[in-house]
Chains A and B, each alone.
Chain A
Amino acid sequence: MTNLPVLAIIVLAPVVGALLIMAFGRGQIAPKAIALVAGTVSLTTSLWVFAVYDRAAAGYQFVTSVPWIPSIGVSFTLGVDGISAPMLVLTSLILFTGVLVSWNVTERPREYFALLLLLVTGVFGVFAAVDAFLLFFSYEMAVLPMYLLIAIWGSTRKDYSAMKLTLFLFAGSAMLILVLVLTYWAVGANTFDMRIWASHSFGAVFQKWVFLLTLIGFGTLIPIFPLHTWSPDGHVAAPTAVSMLHAGVLLKIGAYGLIRLGLVMFPLGWADWRMALALIGVINVVYGAFCAMSQTDLKYVIGYSSVSHMGYVILGLAMGDRFALTGAVFQMFAHGIMTGLFFALIGFIYEQTHTRVIADITGLMRRTPLVAACFVIAGASSMGLPSTAGFVAELLVYVGLVIQSPWLAAAAFIGVVVTAAYVLRMLSRILLGEPSAAVAPIHDAPPLRFVPMAILAGTIMLVGILPASLYTIITGSVMPIVTKLAGG
């Protein structure tokens, strides 16, 4: 352990980057270079944190604390445990690759990259926060840049989507403010420190209703059925890097918050609502998969597939045993990387062919074999094929699910079959066949564009083949939660 405030470096590197970009980021190259440096700093630091995190000790580590608003007990306290450490790695990976993917953004690059970094700061803040107020504050900080990024640099129906997304997220955060205030008063210790909150035992009725508020508030973000419609629209409208962040990271904030504030604080409330949650999870899985199948726009397919895949996370949270919960966090990571890769690929294809309609794209395997290979890897993870990250995650969730509720498992398995169908249908249409008119003139990804794809695809395979490191770090921090949920 060291005294260096590493978490502060991770969180603040993007802010500093954003400020530098606003100050010196003239021209086309400077903003990108600064953003890349900031991303690299965050990436290396969070990888370092991931590597040296003491898996045997679990709990919050690397804690740094600075008083912020002492009068009401708000402090700038950062720390990571086994759940947030993988999320930090995920976020910084997506940031790093997202910057590379955005290398071709020519419209107002200065503002674009500054906002992108600001958004990521918020996300880092959520994952590294030990203070509930800081968590909430960071979350709000992420939403606004998201709106601007979609509304200015987006495509298809961007104004509508950006507004819809923002409305939904603010509606969700209205619930969360309520949760924050109610819990703060109920604890009555003049602090927002979640470690202290977690040790407080709340009344059963209080838990029941406040958990519901938390569920709706963070659930909107996951997104749970039927509060999910903002999400596919948002994915589609956003520029590539923002889609990556949005699907890859933002959705995870919802699940992460639900674990942190919901499961840990209100185990009795969780017990009241878990069957409803499980049902929602199954609906998410199956419904999302069916919806994805009927889409014609590549981004919509992936958008709805996110709804489907996040269903496994919901199921894992609802089951709450060591396998399912570990599987849920694993799925958060795996899905983040996978969707990030999908959007990077689709972004590249869109940039080259100016279309995302599945029917207009065929024969990618012939024109762009590297991109096609990455598509296959992402698709394999999406289908949960072994040796990809998706397999491990789904296996863990299903092990937990089969033990507790075989019928739900059987219902969710419909989703597995449908998922295989739509992924395969999409892949075989766009990859196989003779190149279509739109595809014929394009060339394979140049090195600069291929690097981010290769990083993400490699991560999928690496985590799928050697899941031990990720598994142990997660399960170590999941175990106390499981004990608490079991009533211990």
Chain B
Amino acid sequence: MTGLLAYAWLLPLAPLVVFAIVLATGRKLPKNVVAGMGIGVMFAIFVASMGMLWAVAQGARFEGSVPWIEMKGVVIEVGILVDPLSVLMLIVVSFVSLLVQIYSLGYMADEERFRWYYGAISLFTAAMLGVVLSDGWLLMYMCWEIMGLASFLLIGFWFETEVASKAATKAFMVTRFGDVGFGLALAIMWFSAGTFTFEAVFKLVESGAWAGPTLVVATLLLFMGAMGKSAQFPLHVWLPDAMAGPTPGSALIHAATMVAAGVYLVARSFPLFEANPQTLTVVATIGAITAVMAALIATSVDDIKKVLAYSTISQLGLMMLALGVGSWVAAIFHLMTHAFFKALLFLAAGSVIHGTHTQDVREMGGLWRKMPWTTAVWVIGALSLAGIPPLAGFWSKDEILLTAFHKEQWGFLAVGLVVAMLTAFYMGRSTFLAFFAKPGATSKTDHAHESSWVMLGPLVALATITVVIGLVNSPMFGFAFGAYLGEHASGMNLSLAAVAVGAALAGIAYAYAMYQRGKANPDWYMRNRGIAPVLTKQFWIDDVYQRVIVAPTLVIAGVFRGMDVAVVDGVVRGFGKVGMVVSALLAKFDRGVVDGAVDGLGNGVIDGGRETRKIETGNVQTYLLLLVASIVVLLWVFAR
């Protein structure tokens, strides 16, 4: 079975071949054949990954590389590494991708560019598999960028609409900004360590051969790449807009896998970060800010996909926080559970959108009668995200809180608890509004219908996983997950777990009181106007906020929402504006001064010619006179 590992390099190539076939054949193949290829290949990869899991769990590992560039002592290699972490990621990616592709059979059935969609999904999966399999940062970076390209293609899937094309461009641009850091980190790594391979660099760092400022800068730059991809503050602005793409694509790329690549990058490079406590503090702080900010924003968003998008940002922040306080296993565990239940939530949201043709929770309500299956799986996903036992989210979130607790990072522990409560609240809010509250006046649920089984099947599968997967790192199975990744389990603290669950229940209860018992209107931040002066100001912001206008504010949700649009996004746009102004000025300078000097030279010659040509009158006698005069002058000059 270990022999299988040596063939792991085939895994990313298979979907790439599918992509190539789609590119080459265009519309010639029947839709079902294209989808069948994608699903079949993904199923095979999933099965192979399970086989690898079996081998790896028994201690097998594989690393193999080929020279990419080789000359006179300089060898740059690219290769694959199969170890517990990469196999785990393989399974997550291939499984989610498989289910998403099956689900898309129903969801995308009427799309004109159905085949292209499958091609792009395959391209993305190939790149993502490449990222998790690579044995060094160079190959990882290459696949990382292809992943970005695939993300660009999927966000811009409906490229005819302005929203989609702008969102695609923005997503690529913002992540590319982070990737610049990644690229620079590569350059620093090359001259400091002389290699891009994980193992070799880790050895150098452990032995102290590579230390000092270059290492600090390199880790910070690597983290910059992770921030872009994992939508960390302040580079998170692209992710909510990225929801313009098809929902299953969002589920795969912008919820489960690609956005987690930043977390994976940091986890993979963890020995580097571990050697730099200051970088870890930065990571944890950025994670904490992101988690709280995004959670607050999520409480005030009405687009069901955007709620999930902000929730994803918040959860990714939580993973970064886990990494920052020093537990990459907790981060990866949460990454895995989050991948499953967030994909579940996204696909369920897709089912809702498919059934109601709206994304606004205020236009839904009472869906549980019309879409019972969707409601059931959504609730499982939402409870898991809220951290209610025994669902997956509870275990992984508990792990993160526990790490902070053990490391005595009280500030970060408090952040974790606040986020847990906020998460429960906003999930409760959208759940009650969309599924359980009575439909409001603006409701569009009259013609809502349950989705077909091709869409429900993957949902049920994911819901089942969500119920059971958290147990792999529970006392019941002896914290098998931590052991598998080679780290000692940190155990379980019942009182801490109780506090966390209490916070979550409080959040749900408040949401219940607010949105199920009361009407959805006015929303929570509006209702609190009379109670707390701080929240009164929030209302003032909400006025602006409802028109989606930039507004700075003292009230936190408003502040962050305002910041999202005005400051962070504004800086990006501002840079663009400044860039445009500067470039316009430079272009003028180019035309006026630099070019002017050259034109001046040419014009001088032309003008001179124009003046001299007046002598040529065409009159023969004038010429003759000039001739004689010239001779006289010459004689006078030379014959004197």
Contacts and interface: CB of A to CB of B under 8 A. Distances in A.
Verify whether A and B have any Cβ pair under 8 Å: yes
Contact of B176 (A322, A366, A420): A420
Interface in A298-345: 322
Contacts of A373: 23
Contacts of A391: 142, 145
B168 A291 contact: no
B602 A163 contact: yes
B73 to A, nearest CB: 10
Contacts of A402: 184, 187-188, 191
Nearest to B596: A229
Contacts of A418: 579
Nearest to B166: A428
A169 to B, nearest CB: 13
A420 B584 CA distance: 18
A191 to B, nearest CB: 31
A138 interface: no
Interface stretch (B4-12, B156-164, B628-636): B156-164
B191 A432 contact: no
B599 to A, nearest CB: 8
B572 to A, nearest CB: 10
Contacts of B186: 395
Contact of B168 (A290, A403, A428): A428
Interface stretch (B64-72, B93-101, B404-412): B64-72
A433 B160 CA distance: 4
B246 to A, nearest CB: 15
Nearest to B142: A386
A164 B159 contact: no
B487 interface: no
A226 B183 contact: no
A286 to B, nearest CB: 10
B579 A433 contact: no
Contacts of A292: 583
A413 B149 contact: no
A76 interface: no
B576 interface: yes
Interface stretch (B43-51, B84-92, B252-260, B586-594): B586-594
A62 to B, nearest CB: 21
Given A395-B187, A432-B159, A387 B72 contact: no
A385 B149 contact: yes
B173 interface: yes
A293 B602 contact: no
B582 interface: yes
Nearest to A398: B187
B598 A164 contact: yes
A399 interface: yes
A391 B68 CA distance: 14
B165 interface: yes
Given A291-B587, A293-B583, A431-B159, A471 B176 contact: no
Between B144, B145, B172, B576, the greatest number of chain A beta carbons within 10 A of the residue's beta carbon is seen for B145
Interface in A414-472: 416-418, 420-421, 424-425, 428, 431-434, 466-468, 471-472
A126 interface: no
B177 interface: yes
Given A290-B582, A428-B168, A433 B159 contact: yes
Contacts of A376: 149
B187 A409 contact: yes
Interface in A94-142: none
A290 B145 CA distance: 23
Given A294-B587, A428-B165, A229 B159 contact: no
A363 interface: yes
A175 interface: no
B141 interface: yes
B548 interface: no
Contacts of B188: 402
Between B145, B187, B583, B601, the greatest number of chain A beta carbons within 10 A of the residue's beta carbon is seen for B187
Task: Say what secondary structure dominates the interface of chain A.
Answer: helix
Contacts of B187: 395, 398-399, 401-402, 409
B120 to A, nearest CB: 12
B146 interface: yes
B72 A167 contact: no
Contacts of B74: 322, 475
A401 B146 CA distance: 25
B595 interface: yes
A468 B176 contact: no
Contact of A399 (B145, B190, B582, B590): B190
Interface residues of A, number: 57
A417 B177 CA distance: 6
Given A402-B184, A434-B160, A421 B579 contact: yes
Contact of B169 (A384, A385, A417, A428): A428
Given A287-B586, A399-B191, A433-B159, A294 B580 contact: yes
Nearest to B605: A167
Nearest to A413: B180
A285 B594 CA distance: 17
Contacts of A163: 602
A96 B355 CA distance: 55
Contacts of B208: none
B169 A424 contact: yes
B191 A366 contact: no
A365 interface: yes
B212 interface: no
Interface in A59-100: none
Contacts of A291: 583, 586-587, 590
A433 B72 contact: no
B618 interface: no
Given A291-B583, A293-B580, A386-B145, A433 B162 contact: yes
Contacts of B173: 420-421, 424
Interface string B589-630: 010001100100110000000000000000000000000000
Contacts of B145: 385-387, 391
Nearest to A418: B579
Nearest to A164: B598
Contacts of A428: 156, 165-166, 168-169
A167 B599 CA distance: 11
Contacts of A475: 71-72, 74
A358 interface: no
Nearest to A403: B191
A147 to B, nearest CB: 14
A431 B169 CA distance: 12
Interface string B164-202: 111011001100110010011011101100000000000
B69 A468 contact: yes
A295 B186 CA distance: 32
Contact of A383 (B67, B169, B176, B598): B176
Interface of A: 163-164, 167-168, 226, 229-230, 287, 290-295, 322, 363, 365-366, 369, 373, 376, 380, 383-387, 391-392, 395, 398-399, 401-403, 409, 413, 416-418, 420-421, 424-425, 428, 431-434, 466-468, 471-472, 475-476, 479
Interface of B: 23, 26, 67-72, 74, 141-146, 149, 156, 159-160, 162, 164-166, 168-169, 172-173, 176-177, 180, 183-184, 186-188, 190-191, 576, 579-580, 582-584, 586-587, 590, 594-595, 598, 601-602
Given A402-B188, A417-B177, 12 more contacts: A164-B602, A226-B594, A291-B583, A293-B579, A295-B587, A398-B187, A420-B172, A420-B173, A420-B177, A433-B165, A466-B68, A475-B72
19 contacts: A287-B586, A294-B580, A294-B586, A366-B160, A385-B146, A386-B143, A391-B142, A395-B186, A398-B187, A399-B190, A399-B191, A401-B187, A413-B184, A420-B176, A424-B172, A424-B176, A428-B165, A432-B168, A479-B72
Pairs A-B, 4 closest by C-beta atoms: A386-B142, A432-B165, A432-B159, A294-B583
